[in-house]
Structure 1
Amino acid sequence: MKRALTLLSFGAVLAFASTQLLAAGNIDNGKQKAAACFACHGTDGNAVDPQYPRLAGQYNMYIQQALNEYKTGQRDNAIMKGFVAQLSDQDIQDVAAYFSSLPTKLDTLQGHIQGDKK
């Protein structure tokens, strides 16, 4: 009985900790901080020009990783590097929370890869 209570308590602590990790970004703050992104990626994260990635519904951690890679120079894009240079770690978490929370309109890659014909 004592072992079962210990395991149950441990499970509750893990569940709480994982919820806190997933809640790191603030969607409302992210929408405000992402205003500069809207010109290329769209307010709803569903860019219509295939040269710009659709961010709506993308994995939160992927967006964070990509933004951090632009910031450190691991990804080389002068435009993105300029935008991301202004973002703090919390800003990146918030922007990622915003875009990952949006519904995607991408059901296929056809016509959304540069060079594809629609």
Structure 2
Amino acid sequence: MKSVITLSVLAAALALSVPAAHAGNAAAGKKKAVSCFACHGADGNAVDQQYPRLAGQYENYIVQALKEYKSGQRDNAIMKGFAGQLSQQDMEDIATYYATLDGGKLHTLKNYIQGDSN
């Protein structure tokens, strides 16, 4: 009985350690995100600091943000216009596209958190 419990715990731990599959399709997302490129960049690394860099961002964060723009919970007329035209699948595809890009240019929180010494 003890080995069955140990095996169950091991299986559960393994299942939790495997990354979740992407909800959307990155290739479809790239096509759907063309209108996003002007501000956020085709590679998701916006040059202008007023626009968020989306490369490497969490999919669920992008989907949630798009839903909030669409509903008006986030107040941005430009994003509301774009997000208002997206279906759930469109949002998932776009989020997957940006999530799979290299986010190496994203800023870290180093020196922004109280107590950082460097």
Distance in 2, matches of 1:100 and 1:24, equals: 11
Counterpart amino acid of 2:98? F
Q: Compare the two structures and name the one with the higher helix fraction.
A: 1
Percentage of pairs with the same residue: 62
Q: How many residues align?
A: 105
Distance in 1, matches of 2:72 and 2:52, equals: 19
Distance in 2, matches of 1:33 and 1:4, equals: 48
Counterpart amino acid of 1:99? Y
Aligned match of 2:87: 88
CA distance 1:107–1:77, shift in 2 (3 Å): closer
Distance in 2, matches of 1:97 and 1:63, equals: 9
Distance in 1, matches of 2:8 and 2:49, equals: 50
Aligned match of 2:8: 7
Aligned match of 2:43: 44
Aligned match of 2:106: 106
Report how far residue 4 of structure 1 moved. Answer: 2.2
Question: What are structure 1's unaligned runs of at least 5 residues?
Answer: 110-118
Aligned match of 1:79: 78
CA distance 1:4–1:86, shift in 2 (3 Å): same
| TM value normalised by structure 1 | 0.75
Aligned match of 2:31: 32
| TM value normalised by structure 2 | 0.75
What CA deviation, in whole Å up to 9, does each residue of 1:65-102 have, x standing for no partner? Answer: 10110011110100000001111001000000000111
Question: What are structure 2's unaligned runs of at least 5 residues?
Answer: 110-118
Report how far residue 60 of structure 1 moved. Answer: 1.1
CA-based RMSD: 2.7
Runs of 4+ with deviation above 4 angstroms: none
Report how far residue 57 of structure 1 moved. Answer: 0.7
Counterpart amino acid of 2:47? V
Counterpart amino acid of 1:7? S
Counterpart amino acid of 1:36? S
Report how far residue 61 of structure 1 moved. Answer: 0.9
What CA deviation, in whole Å up to 9, does each residue of 1:6-49 have, x standing for no partner? Answer: 938x74xx94xx86x63211110110000000000000000000
